Copies of this chain bind each other. A is one copy, B any other.
Amino acid sequence: MKPQNDTFLRALKREKTDFTPVWLMRQAGRYLEEYRATRERAGSFMGLAQNPDYATEVTLQPIDRYGLDAAILFSDILTIPDAMDLGLSFVPGEGPQFAKPVQSEEAVNALFVPDPSEKLRYVTDAVTSIRKALNGRVPLIGFSGSPFTLACYMIEGRGSRDFRTVKTMMYRRPDLFERVLDINAEAVAQYLNAQIEAGAQAVQIFDTWGGMLADGDFQRWSLAYTKKVLDRLKKTHDGEAIPSIVFTKGGGEWLSEIAATGCDAVGLDWSTNITRARQVVGDKVALQGNLDPFVLFGTEEVIRREVRRVLDGYGAVGNGGHIFNLGHGINQFTPVENVQILVDEVHQYSRHLHD
């Protein structure tokens, strides 16, 4: 069933739309007081993410508040490694940590592809519940971390500035690193397919850490495994096409290669010139992005000007196939009223680009 507002899905297919659709990475999050209230009731972050009712509630909050053109499943990027029994916990002020990081041959041997219908059932239940609650208003996006990005957390055991442990395994034991990535690729594909079967109408793969790889290593260790996932994804469900988006933070130098993986859209961070990006990828894929999230800390005048700069930057070379977004997740300290300015400016200003 098509959503009442299917602008996002049509833009992903590079079809003509009346305006440029907009959603924001991490749009359901701590910058919203209603999110913080739900989070409080849930007791903990994982209590929130693993409860389909709460997940549904927070997923819909930014849709209700701002009139965004797509919802994205509220979940964590580390659900898969958590389901691999690596002992995920969230340490206040320090972020996610794994009690059993994958740093030895034995640890790699112990890895397995989690069955999405078992330990990840709370995710697909949330997808079903959110679709019901959305009641066809806007499409729902499912998502996963990329095989490489998940491996970064699994091997390092936590976030890092340089992922030294990951790169040491990559350069000393490429055989082990390959096995981790093969398992992750299969796990991500099964996980996204389960989300699609439960009702996700598009999927996004977040390659948050691919951009810290050297040229050559990115293609070998990140992009090749993202492509393996894409190759295994269901392309349609219930007669509707399921488009896929690949977002690589810091991937601006590899756009043509990312666009060649078979995805439907490429997400851009804010460092990329969107006019140049359009020229590089041609009509191969749609583009999503790419406002600096910190523009939302600026004055109203600056927000409107910078939104128009992105829209004009894309619009200068064609008016189909652009999904407006930030170049990274929205910051937790973002003033809520500035998000409304952004959404209104995208919707209003973009109409004149879609004649």
What is A's interface to B at a CB cutoff of 8 Å?
A: 162, 164, 167-168, 171-172, 211-218, 250, 252-253, 270-274, 276, 290-292, 294-295, 297-299, 302, 309, 327, 331, 333
Contact = CB atoms under 8 A, between A and B. Distances in A.
Contacts of A212: 271
A128 B294 CA distance: 44
B171 A272 contact: no
Contact of A331 (B164, B276, B309): B164
20 contacts: A162-B294, A162-B331, A164-B333, A167-B292, A167-B297, A168-B294, A171-B294, A172-B299, A172-B302, A213-B271, A213-B292, A214-B290, A214-B292, A215-B270, A215-B272, A216-B309, A218-B271, A250-B250, A253-B253, A253-B272
Contact of A271 (B172, B211, B274, B302): B211
Given A172-B302, A212-B271, A215-B271, 8 more contacts: A171-B302, A172-B297, A213-B292, A214-B295, A215-B272, A216-B309, A217-B292, A253-B271
A298 B171 contact: yes
Given A171-B302, A252-B253, A271-B213, A297 B164 contact: yes
A329 to B, nearest CB: 11
Given A252-B253, A253-B272, A333-B164, A171 B299 contact: yes
A172 B301 CA distance: 10
A313 to B, nearest CB: 9
Contacts of A295: 171, 214
Contacts of A294: 162, 164, 167-168, 171
